Structure 1
Amino acid sequence: MPKIVDHDERRLELVDATWRIIARHGLEGATMRDIAMEAGFANGALKPYFPTKDTLLEFAFGHVFNRTNKRIADVTQGKSGLEALRAFCLEVLPLDEERINEARIVIPFWQKAVNDPRKAEVHQESMDKWTADIRRCLAEARDSGDVRAGVDDAVIAGQLLNMLLGAQIEAALAPARRTGFGHAAQLEGFLALLAK
């Protein structure tokens, strides 16, 4: 009887292998052969799922974004305002090795998106969703009196999003195994300014 293959599971195994290879060797050092070997598959087994490294990278970015959003949904459930905003940001910030590796996937995707309109669109859709989520939390925090800053919420949301993305860049470019960047304290400092 032929083995039944779970194609979604195999795609995720390949994405996980991609993360590990990129984390160790960078995007340029990640060959399709190495990714297949890391996942325990023959090189040709990747082609039906990801015909090129580019398609694999796009899928990996989408998976990272969806995974982050799942964590955000879990930690913000039942929360609102500043409490939800803090929880949201802590899931995006690269505070551990897993989230630093996610940043190592995202940054090569951004590099490709500079000259690829499709990837730029995928990135913009992701950032639009995060901006809307941040603005919703800010509006709730204003309603409760926790945010009193005299700066427009659109500006605050942009500042906060840029801080989160900048933290990902800093962590991804840092020497291996370094995780102490002070990002959580920086977030608390930023949120404290919103109450003034």
Structure 2
Amino acid sequence: MTDTPTFFTVLTPTYNRAGTLHRVYESLSRQTFRDFEWVIVDDGSTDNTHEAVLDWQQRADFPIRYFWQNNQHKKTAFNRGVREARGELIVALDSDDEMPPESLATFKAAWEAIPPARRDSYVAVTGLCARPDGSIVGDRYPQDVFDSTAVDVYFRYRIKGEKFGCMRTDILRKFPFPEDEAGHVLG
């Protein structure tokens, strides 16, 4: 395993989710865009998560990096994954989630559609979430390509519901979740 940077780091904090984590692995195995790594931060699992990851590391055609830590909290596990990430962009994928095969390719195309001279003013690329039956979770955006701030999305356009996307790793490193305060990580 090398320290080679990747375009994406798919980050999965997990705790005792060996029974569902396979969904993430299978989803990543089907991605059409292959320049990514999967970083799993195990927040003190006592089930067979580690054994499952060892098996996937042997079979996968993409890098899987596993980090175990004493149980602290999802936000601490997330911050650890951000520190370990080699990707330019991070996709946070929960331990029971899946994404369609074109997801990473779509995020990459959307990111690269932003003129390079303007990318520093962007934090993320986001899209809609769908249920297994294909129905959209929450509100749609006003148009397919929608350039906005998070404040406008929530307060001006009043768009609600779960969204999914990728964020710049450097921004997540600069502004980690506070680990010494109560709270929850969405995602």
- TM-score of Structure 1 vs Structure 2, range by shorter chain: under 0.3
TM, length-normalised to structure 2 = 0.27
- Indicate the structure (1 or 2) with the bigger Cα radius of gyration: 1
TM, length-normalised to structure 1 = 0.26
